[in-house]
Structure 1
Amino acid sequence: MFEFFTDRARHAVTLAQDEAIALGHDFIGTEHLLLGLAGTDRSTAGEVLRKQGVEQARIRQETVRILEAAGVATTGGQGAKDALSSLGIDVEEIQRKADDNFGPGAFQYPRPTYTQDARKALEQTLSEAHALGHDRFGTEHILLGLLSAGEGRGLDVLNALEVDRTGLREAVLARVAGGAS
């Protein structure tokens, strides 16, 4: 599926993964997808979000607040690391060696997995692109997919930031109609 994403859309998904890791989460949720979209430069979704007053720092702050209120731990995958440690595998040592050989941050374990809501939003990305007659998926399609999925903490973040989701959707569609990429 990701082979049909534009470079900016792939970058947004990579940023979502990076945000999840930076926040110590072993999952990628719609909140992380929203962070990735807001963090992309010169992208339709990023520009529309900024014009709506939705900045990445505010998204991150609300994400942390909402997840902490929900009791979501920032474990950094400690359970997986502990399981490997019980088998005599030192993940920290592997990370140090990878950093020495390939540069800092080259190895992250565990890799976060997508939540059910994030998977649904990405599936909706496909539906949104096809509904618009597009065969490549851009950041605008990811944002539309996130909005149309109907569930997820990314929507909770938008609600907390008092974003009019219908207005946001209309702004994205207006940009698309104007030939945005």
Structure 2
Amino acid sequence: MFERFTDGARSAVNDAQKQARALNDHHIGPEHLLLALLDGDDATAHALRGAGLDLADLRARAVRHRHAAGDFLDPEALRVIGIDLDAVREATEGTFGAGALDVPAERLRRGPKGRPGRRANGHIPFDPRAKKSLEMSLRHALRLKQRHIATGHVLLGVLHDEHSAAARLAAEAGADLRALRATITRLLTAEAA
């Protein structure tokens, strides 16, 4: 499938790994693809910025979502026993630095059953949601009767499921997903004409 990707789309997929690494994530999800697309300098990136998305804001939202989702600590369980996780996180990061409550890097390097896994600077795998987004990018290209997959197709794949973390992040940041999809579809069909 990657042979159909344009250079820009390949670059965005590769840059998703950099986005995941910058957030200390141990997988690449659709939100990392969205960040990589927004960090680009093509028509798709300009459309994302035109929809009101900002890279720093979206990164901060992604971090907050990860913590709120309870990836590492369960805020609701702690709240029940009278602990405000946000206050604890703020105090801890104030004393020990940003990300002090995140999973230590040594744990991320462990594979199944505690065996050594990837190195800190090694390959970060795509999670099933990101793989599905990339599959949907192909489907959008086919739907538009196009033989290549450009960054716009990748964005359509990332935003295909309105309940995905990436779509929720974009919507919460103020993007009108329906209008954004329409804009990207117009850009893709104009390029093909």
Q: Contact 1:129–1:137 at 8 Å: present in 2 too?
A: yes
For 1:116-135, what aligned pairs fall within 5 Å after superposition? 116-135=128-147
Q: Unaligned 5+ residue runs, structure 1?
A: 96-106
Aligned to 2:44: 45
> How many percent of aligned residue pairs carry the same amino acid?
32
| 2:144–2:189 contact (8 Å) kept in structure 1 | no
Code of the residue aligned with 1:15 in structure 2: it is D
- What amino acid sits opposite 1:35 in the alignment? L
Specify the code of the residue in structure 2 equivalent to 1:75. Answer: V
Quick check: 1:148 aligned with 2:160? yes
For structure 2, the 5+ residue unaligned runs are: 73-101
- Is residue 163 from structure 1 mapped to residue 175 from structure 2 by the alignment? yes
TM alignment of 1:15-54, pairs within 5 A? 15-41=15-41, 43-54=42-53
Are 1:108 and 2:121 counterparts? yes
Question: Taking structure 2 as the reference length, what is the TM-score of the superposition?
Answer: 0.74
CA contact (8 A) 1:117 1:151 kept: no
Q: Counterparts of 2:20 and 2:11 in 1: how far apart (Å)? A: 14
**Cα distance in 2, alignment partners of residues 76 and 22 from structure 1:** 14
1:82 CA displacement? 4.4
After TM superposition, give the deviation of residue 81 of structure 1 in Å.
2.7
How far is 1:54 from its partner?
A: 0.8
| Structure 2 partner of 1:72 | 71
Question: Which of the pair has more CA radius of gyration?
Answer: 2
1:25-77 alpha-carbon deviations (Å, 9 max, x no partner): 11111110100100111x23211101111121121111111111112244376
- Offset of 1:78 from its aligned partner? 3.2
Q: How does 1:82-97 map to 2 (within 5 A)?
A: 82=110
Mark the CA change 1:77 to 1:10 in structure 2 (over 3 Å): closer, same or farther. Answer: farther
Asked if 2 retains the 8 angstrom alpha-carbon contact of 1:26 and 1:75, the reply is no
Q: Which 10-residue stretch deviates more, 65-74 or 156-165?
A: 65-74
Q: Is the 8 A contact 1:147 1:155 kept in 2?
A: yes
Change (3 A) 1:35 1:83: closer
TM norm structure 1: 0.79
What is the distance in 2 between the residues matched to 1:133 and 1:11?
A: 23
Q: Structure 1 residues 82, 120: CA separation in 2 closer, same or farther (over 3 Å shift)?
A: closer
Counterpart AA for 2:21: I
Deviation at 1:11, TM superposition (A): 0.8
What does residue 81 of structure 1 align with?
109
Instruction: Give the conservation status (yes or no) of the 8 Å contact 2:161–2:167.
Output: no
Instruction: Give the match for residue 3 of structure 2.
Output: 3
Aligned mates of 1:8, 1:78 — CA distance in 2: 33
